[in-house]
Structure 1
Amino acid sequence: MMYRLVLVDDEVSSRNALCNYFPWNQIGFEVVSQFTDGCLALDYIRKNPVDVIFCDIIMPNMDGLLLAKKIYQEKIGCKIIFLSAYKKFDYAREALNYGVRDYLVKPAKYKDLMEVFQRLRMELDEEKRMAFNRLPPDMEAMGQSVCDKTIHAVNEYLSRNYKNATLENTANYIKMNPSYLSQYYYLKTGVHFSDNLLKIRMERAAVLLDNYRYKIKEVSEMVGYMNAKNFTKAFKKYYGKLPRDYRQNI
């Protein structure tokens, strides 16, 4: 499986180099988003499942240490690796207080990056294995925990409200913290909340495209995409073809 990684660095060249030239996919990570400061990153991870934050320390608005502190205080279940041009013991010591897993100094060497993230991948795999081993024996890892009332309630809510559903309003519906729900859902089903919502939307869109009375823009809005370009991009990524091509091949 692929673990979700977010890059946070106000230096565009550094961030782009890390994003585009390091073989994340080969070692089990997917860069799902990147940000210039901690505020933007925190807002994202409060709403989306993230496994790892790879973060600079010195940044505007919210620096890496404060971001790590917020993640620690809010009990958001993701790992943090620091990357900084400043090799200062005080930073490293404070980082340990917030559960930061490692500390790399810019410019990070390829060998060091590979070692740190391969080690982190093994740690994440082991945590996942142990978590699933704690499930009752009649529950298999992939999605068979639908008998769980919470998971069943989430799936029912999404099937009825896929157009406007978010992690936040789903969590509010079942009276759970959004971050906790995200982790709980993945633990119980082996599927990320956002991936399941995407699946429901895309499958519904495919059905709607079968009806030529609906324009593609209308189908987009009916499954929750107010921007048709975003819908087209998501649909192509999911099905491997544009909505209009999918419709022509029906």
Structure 2
Amino acid sequence: MYKLLIADDEKKIREGLALLFPWSQFDIEVVGQCSNGQEVIEFLEDNEVDIVLSDIVMPKMTGIEVSKYIHENRLSVKVVLLSAFREFEYAQESLRYQVKDYVVKPTKYEELVRVFTRLKQELDEQTQAALDMHIPEGSSIVDRIKRYIEEHYATACLDSIADELKMNVFYISRVFKRKTGMNIFPYLTQVRMSKACEYLQLPDIKIYEVCSLVGYTEPRSFSRAFKKQFAVTPKEFRASFGLG
């Protein structure tokens, strides 16, 4: 089944969407609910998700910012935004991030059927395309993915890995998860954090430079990922070595 993450700061809305719509009829399983965009990012870092259904206006991080994050990190995640009529012009900003569709609030059953029927068809086609490919043995694929990430951790993303292997993004994601027990993106994050530790021990490199060297464009995201991995901030880690 395809995995769906629902995000809305109104508990009643997200629980209603999760419980009242017959997701199983579309081969979709709700794997999580989030109350803001930051929670979505943290969930995506550790879990496999095929679709994010997100409200646009949320605290800490908006649905637009979530869409930007997914787009910039080349995650194989389809995004559908929930939008009130008055937010429609604001929603147009997300077009640059390849958002798949919009659902106007208050949500209508028929609209959800239309959107997710189309999304399921698209996901089915991706799955079939992956199955139709002539694929080498799975372990060799994983080894090649790991090697590519080790060599290109600053710029690696799902699209670049797929291009390197000349394989379907959808397929390599599934093979990697099946063989290693984790998704590609969390593995990439682990490699980046390991490299960050090495850089942070070099006194001539600033923390913001380390952020860029390991592939992050926003220091806040880098710091959050680092603390999640090691339970200390980059600054605290560096201080433990007597470095300012």
The question of a shared fold, defined as TM-score above 0.5 by the shorter chain, is answered with yes
**What secondary structure sits across from 1:88 in the alignment?**
helix
How far did 1:188 drift?
Answer: 4.1
- Aligned pairs for 1:222-237 (under 5 A) are none
How far did 1:153 drift?
Answer: 8.1
Mapped partners of 1:172, 1:129: distance in 2: 27
1:207-236 alpha-carbon deviations (Å, 9 max, x no partner):
xxxxxxxxxxxxxxxxxxxxxxxxxxxxxx
Mapped partners of 1:186, 1:126: distance in 2: 10
Change (3 A) 1:12 1:132: same
In structure 1, the gaps of 5 or more residues are 155-170, 199-250
Mapped partners of 1:12, 1:91: distance in 2: 23
What's the TM-score, normalizing by structure 2?
A: 0.61
Mapped partners of 2:28, 2:64: distance in 1: 23
- The counterpart of 1:187, out of the listed 165, 171, 174, is 171
- The counterpart of 2:142, out of the listed 106, 126, 151, is 151
Mapped partners of 1:62, 1:194: distance in 2: 31
Give 1:33's aligned residue.
Answer: 32
Measured on the aligned residues, the alpha-carbon RMSD in Å equals 3.1
Give 1:228's aligned residue.
Answer: none
How far did 1:196 drift?
Answer: 6.3
Mapped partners of 2:173, 2:59: distance in 1: 38
Give 2:59's aligned residue.
Answer: 60
How far did 1:23 drift?
Answer: 0.7
Mapped partners of 1:63, 1:26: distance in 2: 29
Mapped partners of 2:45, 2:173: distance in 1: 20
How far did 1:116 drift?
Answer: 0.6
**What secondary structure sits across from 1:34 in the alignment?**
strand
Mapped partners of 2:11, 2:176: distance in 1: 29
Is 1:127 the counterpart of 2:126 in the alignment? yes
Give 2:238's aligned residue.
Answer: none
Code of the aligned partner of 2:31: V
Give 1:8's aligned residue.
Answer: 7
How far did 1:54 drift?
Answer: 0.1
- Aligned pairs for 1:42-61 (under 5 A) are 42-61=41-60
How far did 1:18 drift?
Answer: 0.5
Give 1:24's aligned residue.
Answer: 23
In structure 2, the gaps of 5 or more residues are 183-244
Is residue 34–residue 40 contact of structure 2 (8 Å, CA) maintained in 1? yes
Give 1:167's aligned residue.
Answer: none
Point out 4+ residue stretches in structure 1 off by more than 6 angstroms.
Answer: 181-185
Give 1:207's aligned residue.
Answer: none
How far did 1:126 drift?
Answer: 1.1
Code of the aligned partner of 1:151: V
Identity %: 34
Is residue 56–residue 83 contact of structure 2 (8 Å, CA) maintained in 1? yes
- Aligned pairs for 1:68-147 (under 5 A) are 68-133=67-132, 135-136=133-134, 139=135, 145-146=137-138
1:114-157 alpha-carbon deviations (Å, 9 max, x no partner):
11101110011112222333x32xx3xxxx733x5242689xxx
1:6-64 alpha-carbon deviations (Å, 9 max, x no partner):
00100000000001111111111111111011111012112222110000000000011
Change (3 A) 1:50 1:107: same
Give 1:212's aligned residue.
Answer: none
Change (3 A) 1:194 1:97: same
Is residue 64–residue 82 contact of structure 1 (8 Å, CA) maintained in 2? yes
Change (3 A) 1:173 1:64: same
Mapped partners of 1:29, 1:37: distance in 2: 22
